[in-house]
Structure 1
């Protein structure tokens, strides 16, 4: 391309603030300007780093979302498993200690990948209801039951309903920071054993601070607050619950959970005779395949007279565990491990405790923005269905395509073991993204959090991503040349 007269170029393109060359510069500045423009037009230029399309001003925003390059220090997930989720006090795990639920999934992520467990830098487990010291001890016991050596440390984390996701985020952050290269994040909860109750006396100072007082509201009351404030009807909540059961039942019948569920050998104790029966639990037992809208409509409101929150349109009280194995991409590549997903972002936000269920509506956009993406880039969502009211509201306010949300059912059908849910949803999301293949690149896990918070994380599908399969339709052409037709 011939070098143009820089003074003429400056006059025609004053916004570039080009300064005329001084003697001896050989018009080098003009060449630089030409090179910058050409760079944006070349396939290998800044508009397409390494073949990955990225949005830029010079591309007139024709490509709406950022595309990541692969780096050896990316934090990736190479295994993600969960136990079946079972109804608390009357389901398959009613007589199973927490450590006996956690140990099988810890063992699974190690054995399925063939890593030396001594290489694990840390294990972080989310849990909510059990006393902190006791649950930390039980989780440490579980690691020994799983065959993990004494040299591997473990800790627990409690961010209420997002504890499992927070555990994964903590491990990802530690790997990214260089503290270690391989770690496990997960969650466990026995809602049979540990009750949802505030233990001890309430601080009388809450009378002087409404938001502090609202931290003690029963979660069902916050659901009623969301329904009333944002006009979410009983019918909308019941319909969401019905869809959850229908999708979960279909996923179970079609074997869509088989790659994420680890069967657990345990026992069932007859409450009348005390007789122990050995069993293998391999299927979620809270799903109601035959649920109908009529059946759901007959249920009475639980938390408020003339309210709309029922046992049918709320998450189930559940037992279960899940675990995720994370490491640097370079480590996975050297070992030939298939990458299930890439950890791209995590955000926790605060909201009004009285309407804590709105958390995902705030957290999801923040996490997506942190990842350099737009909501339109997300192909799949796992949004925890703590209550039908808050789930419906969040989906509405974010204008989510419900064909992308909880495609295999959610907590109203499968259950919500508090500390486990984030890790369970991550396993479900990543295995579904793998099944969908090249048409599913980005996924989000999100949930509301008691006392008024929300959390969300963005994951990118792992191995064999087609770099050119994700170009979004161009809704408006912004030509770079006035001669274009």
Structure 2
């Protein structure tokens, strides 16, 4: 059976809402990272069998199969196809999974996976402004509950007994680790600077240096008056894109490329759609069972920080080493551009693994509706 390897991974810096990337169309932002892949690998884009692209709010600027139009915007041959996938926040992680599965199945030789979201231009929830989301039978099944991720984060905090200070301490840690990573140049090699009307944008801009539990304590709860979830311990609304080139080891050698990481295994799972955000726990458990590895065998975990209690509960249930959890900070500090986040996290993860000689890395993220992806990669 063929293996799938990632030979290059690039991302834009993450822009805050209405920040440096707000003036860039999502198709053009996608094309920017596609172009960077070709520049870094030197391959002919005409050999790419498919572009599998994640995007969540597929309306307005992000409608009409953005994966296909990103290919055209990048100037690639018209013969290169593209598809856009949506598994909520895990869309571009699902895109990577589909790309790897296609390589392993022998249906792709060279494929690009990635994703984008311009939340400045296509606001969160824009796709739900018309019609009846979820459908009457789903609403009936759950007693007309209004599905809300913030409410789910509150429920997780209650179930696992996380206090407001616990969450704010985790959020402060995210900012501190992200600041340290930026200052150490940990992201320099993976980031593709983006020319904008105001200059060249090259550093994640959501970071708030000096964040502490004391500063976060001043913020009002977002979902209930006596709640513990607020803007400071939740992910930021952001813009960004990332792309990864996936192939076989044999094809990589033929093209003169050196793989960074090998796709080892993946899993997807569903969980309670009301609590919604606990899916990474069963997805990771399924992945570990499938591979025969223990959580202690894995040297770094990227667990998306949609809300602070998500990675916190995951770590408690899996018995994960806190030092290995989101070692570069996360979405609380630098943002969560929905459809691009899965590819961004994997890009961060494999570059971190290479820089620190870490054999195994795991990525998982919660997704709207209660699903989650988990992906295991191995350093080559």
Same fold (TM over 0.5): yes
Contact 1:127 1:135 in 2 (8 A): no
> Aligned ranges for residues 472-483 of structure 1 at < 5 Å?
none
Residues 207 and 161 (structure 1), Cα distance of their counterparts in 2 relative to 1, 3 Å cut: closer
Cα distance in structure 1, aligned partners of 2:249 and 2:347: 18
Q: CA deviation at 1:195?
A: 2.0
Contact 2:55 2:62 in 1 (8 A): no
Partner in structure 2 of residue 87 of structure 1? 16
Cα distance in structure 2, aligned partners of 1:87 and 1:347: 31
**Greater CA drift, 145-154 or 315-324:** 145-154
Contact 1:365 1:375 in 2 (8 A): no
1:325-350 Cα shifts (integer Å, max 9, x gaps): 00011111223311110011111100
Partner in structure 2 of residue 444 of structure 1? 362
Select the residue among 104, 107, 126 that pairs with 2:54.
126
Q: CA deviation at 1:146?
A: 1.9
Cα distance in structure 1, aligned partners of 2:153 and 2:62: 31
Partner in structure 2 of residue 230 of structure 1? 160
1:112-140 Cα shifts (integer Å, max 9, x gaps): 11111110000010000122995344433
1:300-359 Cα shifts (integer Å, max 9, x gaps): 100011000010000001100000000011111223311110011111100001111111
1:351-376 Cα shifts (integer Å, max 9, x gaps): 00111111111111212222332212
Cα distance in structure 1, aligned partners of 2:104 and 2:154: 40
The answer on 1:148 being equivalent to 2:66 is: no
Partner in structure 1 of residue 293 of structure 2? 373
The answer on 1:245 being equivalent to 2:245 is: no
Q: CA deviation at 1:460?
A: 0.2
Contact 2:281 2:314 in 1 (8 A): yes
> Aligned ranges for residues 70-469 of structure 1 at < 5 Å?
73-89=2-18, 91-131=19-59, 134-197=62-125, 198-202=128-132, 203-210=135-142, 213-214=144-145, 216-267=146-197, 278-437=198-357, 440-462=358-380
Q: CA deviation at 1:448?
A: 0.5
Cα distance in structure 1, aligned partners of 2:50 and 2:362: 25
Task: Specify which structure has the bigger relative contact order, considering alpha-carbon pairs within 8 angstroms and separated by 6 or more residues.
Answer: 2
Q: CA deviation at 1:234?
A: 0.9
Structure 1 residues not aligned, in runs of 5+: 1-70, 268-277, 463-485
Contact 1:249 1:287 in 2 (8 A): yes
Secondary structure class of the residue paired with 1:354: coil
CA RMSD between the two structures: 1.6
Partner in structure 2 of residue 478 of structure 1? none
**Which structure has the larger Rg?**
1
Secondary structure class of the residue paired with 2:211: coil
Structure 2 residues not aligned, in runs of 5+: none
Contact 1:136 1:155 in 2 (8 A): no
Cα distance in structure 1, aligned partners of 2:244 and 2:266: 16
Residues 133 and 299 (structure 1), Cα distance of their counterparts in 2 relative to 1, 3 Å cut: closer
Cα distance in structure 2, aligned partners of 1:390 and 1:402: 13
Q: CA deviation at 1:194?
A: 1.4
